[in-house]
């Protein structure tokens, strides 16, 4: 029987295991939870979402939406589970994080070709083809072995936003609406502030006490821009938040009939709508400071926190020096890497790398030529970015149109340009899937 190992049952690992099993490969899926957990993991389930429950834009004519549509076309397990457990989030795809993880876990555990082994793996010398998808919080033992073999790994800090109980939000000071009227009317709870309230909140935020960051240079931490702690972002200038996570554009407070000075949006965390996530409020403030400072927002004055925001260290390898665009090592063709450990940033980006790594690992086992997807596709472009040796200062990269080849006839209108990028890439990927029977 053809066999493979997958190390890690996160988004990328579960996707890789599913793609391997789909092609008749018996998979040993190693997962250290619940015996060992990283500081950021709370659940025993697979594919745990440790930060936001948003999977970004739904609209296909967007980089994030294009990526998700490509994954649907390639029969992604993660996308099936995400679509099945979605919660209202305006123009974004957000999921009930517990139902989502349960769905992925059940699919993996019920697959007769996947054997789950609860064990921490520290070794990287395997007898069968292997996909390493241990994520940005790879265990110390495995990280040490990776560094010994490949040299010093890279790292940066990632942050998660707090979650509050819905019934503790004071709706006398809040209103429900989606920005620009997209999605349902109650997809978001909006917490408005006037100029004086915002300025007081801002002054307290930038002087609030932050939690200590262990095992890192706390005076010069590298923070991925997409998960910048709100207190760090705020120090760039008093109006930075008003043009970022607290932007009021597209929203009108029905109590005043005017656009607020600043707005914090809360997004549903679960299907029942009993918990809400503070959108864009990733933070490293001490827990007591989070309650005090965020409580200065009128609607959150007496809010009850289900989870405080946390910040943790993420690790990734120097992929441009180590990996091919087929996600395997340049000097060891049967060892594949996937997920945030490779320097892709984002839930779906991680899952998409696991999808392609799983397909290629199966093709390697079956004696087939490894594939690269069209460079006009988002998955193909990401695989080329992480393997591009010309990238000198390698940093995590998420889906964006900037990594795609330029359009031949580039529309001046931004919306038309996005549609052109998306339709071009999806058409080329569809043709490739059909011609090469990639879903078989």
Q: What is the pLDDT of residue 365?
A: 98
The residue with tokens 């059940």 is: 106
Contact 303/295 with Cβ under 8 angstroms? yes
Longest pairwise C-alpha distance within the chain:
69
- Tokens encoding 6: 């997958």
Show the DSSP H helices in 176-303 as ranges. 195-207, 230-234, 287-294
Q: What is the pLDDT of residue 218?
A: 40
What radius of gyration do the chain's Cα atoms show?
A: 22
Cross-strand partners of 192 = 263
C-alpha span between 350 and 371 (Å, rounded): 18
Q: What is the pLDDT of residue 122?
A: 86
Task: Of 417, 355, 420, 416, give the one whose Cα is nearest residue 383.
Answer: 355
Contact 12/354 with Cβ under 8 angstroms? yes
> pTM here?
0.79
Q: What is the pLDDT of residue 410?
A: 86
Q: Which residues of the chain have pLDDT under 50?
A: 216-220
């Amino acid at each position: 029987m053809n066999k493979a190992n997958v190390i890690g049952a996160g988004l990328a690992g579960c996707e890789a295991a599913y793609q391997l099993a789909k092609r008749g490969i018996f998979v040993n899926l190693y997962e250290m939870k619940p015996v060992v957990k990283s500081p950021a993991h709370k659940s025993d389930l697979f594919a745990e979402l440790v930060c936001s429950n948003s999977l970004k834009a739904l609209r296909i004519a967007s980089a994030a939406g294009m990526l998700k549509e490509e994954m649907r076309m390639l029969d992604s397990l993660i996308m099936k589970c995400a679509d099945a457990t979605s919660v209202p989030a305006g123009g974004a795809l957000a999921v009930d994080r517990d139902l989502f993880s349960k769905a992925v876990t059940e699919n993996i555990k019920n697959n007769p070709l996947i054997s789950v082994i609860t064990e921490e793996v520290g070794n990287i010398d395997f007898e069968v083809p292997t996909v390493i998808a241990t994520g940005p919080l790879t265990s110390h033992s495995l990280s040490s072995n990776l560094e010994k073999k490949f040299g010093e790994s890279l790292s940066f800090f990632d942050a998660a936003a707090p979650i509050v109980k819905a019934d503790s939000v004071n709706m006398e000071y809040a209103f429900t609406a989606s920005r620009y009227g997209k999605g349902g009317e109650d997809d978001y709870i909006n917490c408005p502030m006037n100029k004086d309230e915002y300025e007081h909140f801002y002054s307290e935020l930038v002087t609030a006490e932050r939690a200590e960051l262990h095992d890192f240079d706390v005076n010069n931490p590298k923070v991925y821009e997409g998960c910048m702690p709100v207190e760090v972002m705020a120090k760039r200038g008093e109006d930075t938040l008003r043009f970022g996570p607290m932007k009021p554009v597209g929203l009108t407070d029905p109590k005043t009939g005017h656009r607020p000075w600043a707005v914090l949006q809360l997004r549903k965390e679960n299907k029942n709508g009993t918990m809400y996530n503070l959108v864009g409020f990733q933070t490293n403030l001490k827990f007591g400071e989070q309650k005090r400072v965020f409580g200065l927002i009128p609607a959150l004055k007496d809010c009850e926190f289900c989870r405080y925001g946390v910040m943790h260290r993420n690790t990734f390898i120097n992929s441009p020096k180590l990996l091919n665009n087929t996600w395997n090592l340049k000097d060891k063709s049967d060892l594949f890497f996937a997920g945030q450990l490779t320097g892709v940033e984002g839930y779906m980006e991680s899952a998409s790398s696991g999808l392609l790594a799983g397909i290629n690992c199966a093709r390697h086992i079956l004696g087939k030529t490894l594939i690269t997807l069209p460079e006009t596709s988002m998955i193909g472009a990401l695989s080329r970015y992480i393997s591009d040796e010309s990238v000198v200062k390698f940093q995590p990269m998420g889906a964006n149109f900037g990594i795609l080849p330029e359009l031949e006839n580039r529309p001046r209108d931004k919306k038309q340009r996005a549609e052109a990028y998306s339709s071009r890439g999806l058409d080329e990927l569809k043709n490739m899937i059909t011609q090469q029977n990639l879903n078989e």
